[in-house]
Amino acid sequence: MTGKRTSGEPGRPLKLLHLHSTFDAGGKERRVVALMNRWARGPAGRTLEHHIVSAVPSAMGAQALIDKRVKAFFPFGFPPLAGKLRIGRLQRLARAMQGFDLVLTYNWGAMDAAMAHAVFAPGMGLPPLIHHEDGFNADEAGGLKRYRNWYRMIALSRASALVVPSRNLERIALDIWKQPRARVQRIANGIDTTLYARKPRPDALPRLVKRAGEKWLGTLAGLRAVKNLPRLVRAIQGLPPQWHLVILGEGPEREAILAEAARLGIDHRVHLPGHVADPSAAVSLFDIFALSSDSEQAPLSVIEAMASGLAVASPAVGDVADMVAPENRPFIAPPGDEQALGQAIATLAADDALRQRIGKANRARAAAQFDEAIMARRYAELYAGALGRSSLG
């Protein structure tokens, strides 16, 4: 993992080092894998190597989503991304970055690697670094921590770019983390919207079949505290009995969600079939898409729901209210107002024609503004620019 950079040597691949807070199959990770897979199908596929490290070594669920054509590697013995802040540890992280052409860091869990780059890049001749910030966990959902703001300001001081997907994060990067305007790049998340127009099979989900006459309130989320998924359990309680709650994802809050369903006596109407490798084959089974999060930025799952022609009920977190079509905005509730969110869900559940009209508008907006091709082109241009190249291919 050490040695001089190789990008200028003819015939040698470009080596991209991805340092993740986690590589479970959440929105950030699915976006990264989508970019890898898309580039592997084009000219860049012959020239790119992706070396992937997770701050949580056991959190590698997104690995299963990587196309076999992608040149993906998982370095053994890479220094831990998390640990006590010690100069020796930062130095080891910096040494491990040598030999790569571009370092890509993701979220707070990889911020020590960005700090190592800021401290040692000139003396060690480290490659350029681009940091990606996609949002906050429960420990910062209620407010940013002053120490972390200060740490980010220093750690990102030598970054070639800071990429954010939402206007809210862009404002935070400029006003709170004091990043130069030229460094901050807002790139909207995107998906292959054409895939979500397919008619789903009732048995598309593992261990769960949609039966005739059932209606599904659904969401796609990591089962983490910041997602506040018990809110949706309480929302489904007030709907007619044909309505079921389906939560696609995995995480540590599974038992808390099931416990809330059991407490309310509706555990037979709450389903957690687990992680779904291909959301495009499943999301269209929902009749309403809902978020319940305390913190989001520009959720990929909302775009997937829009592309599937669904109405969305959600708190007004991050950019959600700006993302959905104007027809959908009355069903975006004030943050933290569980009663308003429940009322939005109930209103949509009671009106098939309203859901269809909103879903049609959302699908058109997703295709126009959030297609994967737009996102992939912007990322390719940004990465190539940091490398001093005209393209990644």
What's the pLDDT tens digit per position in 58-98? 989 899 999 999 999 999 999 999 999 999 999 999 999 99
Query: Is the pTM of the predicted complex or chain greater than 0.85?
Result: no
Separation of alpha carbons 363 and 379, rounded Å: 24
Q: Is residue 392 part of a domain?
A: no
Q: Is residue 1 part of a domain?
A: no
Sign of CA dihedral 178, 179, 185, 188: negative
Q: Is residue 349 part of a domain?
A: yes
Q: Do 44 and 163 have their domain in common?
A: yes
Q: Do 293 and 328 have their domain in common?
A: yes
* Residue type at 51 in one-letter notation: H
Q: Is residue 110 part of a domain?
A: yes
Q: What is the pLDDT of residue 288?
A: 98
Q: What is the pLDDT of residue 219?
A: 96
Q: Is residue 85 part of a domain?
A: yes
Q: Do 243 and 219 have their domain in common?
A: yes
Lowest pLDDT segment from 14-28, 67-81, 194-208, 264-278: 194-208
Pick 3 or 248 by higher pLDDT.
248
Q: Do 134 and 215 have their domain in common?
A: no
Q: Do 282 and 323 have their domain in common?
A: yes
Number of domains in the chain: 2
Q: Do 270 and 155 have their domain in common?
A: no
Question: For residue 224, which of 384, 28, 76, 7 has the smallest C-alpha distance?
Answer: 28
| Nearest-10 crossing angle of helices 111-124, 146-155 | 30
CATH number (domain holding residue 293): 3.40.50.2000
Separation of alpha carbons 12 and 291, rounded Å: 45
Separation of alpha carbons 59 and 195, rounded Å: 27
Q: What is the pLDDT of residue 34?
A: 93
Q: What is the pLDDT of residue 1?
A: 37
Tokens of 315: 């708190």
Q: What integer is the mean pLDDT of 378-388?
A: 96
Angle at the Cα of 310 (from 242 to 206), degrees rounded to 5? 60
Domain of 282 in residue numbering reads as 193-369
Q: What is the pLDDT of residue 3?
A: 39
Q: Do 206 and 67 have their domain in common?
A: no
| pLDDT beyond 90 at 112 | yes
Q: What integer is the mean pLDDT of 21-47?
A: 90
* pLDDT tens-place string over residues 187-208: 999 999 999 988 888 888 878 9
* pLDDT tens-place string over residues 91-110: 999 999 999 999 999 999 99
Q: Do 169 and 301 have their domain in common?
A: no
| pLDDT beyond 60 at 8 | no
**Rama region for 181: left / alpha / beta (φ>0; ψ in -120 to 50; rest):** alpha
Q: What is the pLDDT of residue 9?
A: 59
| pLDDT beyond 80 at 7 | no
Q: Do 124 and 198 have their domain in common?
A: no
- 54, 22 Cβ separation under 8 angstroms: yes
Query: Distances in Å between the alpha carbon of 83 and those of 39, 79, 94, 156, 280?
Result: 33, 10, 15, 19, 37
Q: Do 281 and 182 have their domain in common?
A: no
Q: Do 212 and 339 have their domain in common?
A: yes
Q: Is residue 202 part of a domain?
A: yes
Q: What is the pLDDT of residue 222?
A: 86
Q: Is residue 8 part of a domain?
A: no
Q: Is residue 358 part of a domain?
A: yes
Separation of alpha carbons 356 and 347, rounded Å: 13
Q: What is the pLDDT of residue 281?
A: 86
Laid out side by side, the sheet with 288-290 consists of 270-274, 243-248, 215-220, 288-290, 312-315, 332-333
Q: What is the pLDDT of residue 44?
A: 83
Angle at the Cα of 63 (from 391 to 169), degrees rounded to 5? 60
Q: If you average pLDDT over every residue of the chain, what do you get?
A: 93
Q: How confident is the model at residue 45 (pLDDT cuts 50, 70, 90)?
A: confident
Q: What integer is the mean pLDDT of 116-137?
A: 95
Q: Do 61 and 200 have their domain in common?
A: no
| pLDDT beyond 60 at 303 | yes
Q: What is the pLDDT of residue 5?
A: 47
* pLDDT tens-place string over residues 208-259: 999 999 999 999 998 989 899 999 999 999 999 999 999 999 889 999 999 9
| pLDDT beyond 80 at 11 | no
